Amino acid sequence: MKHLTGGVCAPKGFVASGTSCGIRKTGKKDLALIVSQKRAAAAGVYTQNLVKGAPILVTQKHLANGYARAIIANSGNANTCNANGIEIAEGMCELVEKYTGIYASDVIVASTGVIGQRLSLDPIANGMSALMMGLGSNSSDAAEAILTTDTVRKEAAVSLELGGKTVKIGAIAKGSGMIHPNMATLLVFTTTDAAVAPALLQKALELAIQDSFNMISIDRDTSTNDTAVILANGMAENAEIGSENADFAAFLAALKALYIHLSRLISKDGEGATKLLECRVTGARTDADARVAAKSVICSPLLKCAMFGSDANWGRVLCALGYAGADIDVAGVDVTFKSEAGEIKVCENGGGIAFSEEAAKTVLSAPEIEIAVSLGGGPGEALAFGCDLTYDYVKINSDYRS
């Protein structure tokens, strides 16, 4: 597997565009379009929040047959809890049909931004000409157009060999706040030129998300609009993946690696964040126990505050493990803090040990920190992603609508 540039445009047969149509008051790009040259197998995973944005309901309907060809998305307004939300979401798809000839029923639609504010179709309609003119092989404008409080674009791509054919997978993502397991989390749009049957594409998406986006927590808030979708147009001309064979395993491994890379980018760019946090749990009785334990640690507000202050308050790790709900023998827990500045063990067999507070502060002052937790000698392991909790998080979310 190789890492590539190009995001969603790296695979054959995909073009993308992004423009400003006036939904966002700042004038930043707020409308994105991704188009496949051919009709593609498609799969999606969505928020588990009972309050769902209208675009999710429309996308679920359009993907019922397992195929799509385009994605349109806006930022600045979530189109959630609106009386005419379905009408607006369907209208966005109809605009794609009008300008591209792609059937509206083959269009995926997504929105992100403020909840509960009415959205007019007028700015989107006015922005379509510019969006069409910008369609090309660079996904950066589209990646920028889906951002809200994000400070950087998130885009990546990889390639792998399947049956003698080079297959590429690309993705763009957004997410900075209101991110919490389980998925979906955020917006993730993925393209691939691999030939994959819709049912297997859906399974690969769900499995890849389990150990990546589903393991992120920025603030314990699950969005109403979280959507992850993937289009597979088959233009790499590999033998279609129609069963869980070796090609499926290789495709899944590449997709998971891509998503883990994006998960780190998203977590590092959490609202107000100064540090990327990763909790790596090993020695659990099962992978499921490891996931629960790792998530609990990464979600702890007190632990996140301690990491912001470079305070080696390891008791907060033990506390989070204790209420996680996983099958854990507390007397067998070890905790080590790691970073580019070194590592320091702070807890052994569930109890405190002597360590240098000064050395620990040096380790925890780095921009990326790993909280390594050993639960014993079991085979279960997991990795969760998050960030520290800072003053700026409160500032950002105290006037989000203004």
Burial of 97 (0-12, 13-18, 19+ CB in 10 A): middle
> Per-residue DSSP letters for 50-67?
SS--HHHHHHHHHTTTSE
Per-residue exposure over 195-224, b if at least 16 CB sit within 10 Å of its own CB, e if not: bbbbebbbbbbeebbbbbbbbbbbbeebbb
Q: Phi, psi at residue 215, to the nearest 5°?
A: -105, 15
Number of H helices, E strands in the chain: 11, 15
Query: What does the angle CA 217 – CA 222 – CA 228 come to, to the nearest 5 degrees?
Result: 85
Q: Can 185 be counted among the known catalytic residues?
A: yes
Q: Which is nearest to 373 in space by CA: 347, 351, 354?
A: 347
In what side-by-side order are the strands of the sheet with 380-387? 351-352, 342-348, 334-339, 368-374, 276-284, 380-387
Annotated catalytic residue, options 19, 80, 100, 185:
185
Distance, CA of 343 to CA of 300 (rounded, Å): 21
Per-residue exposure over 69-88, b if at least 16 CB sit within 10 Å of its own CB, e if not: bbbbbbbbbbbbebeebeeb
Give me the active site residues, please: 185
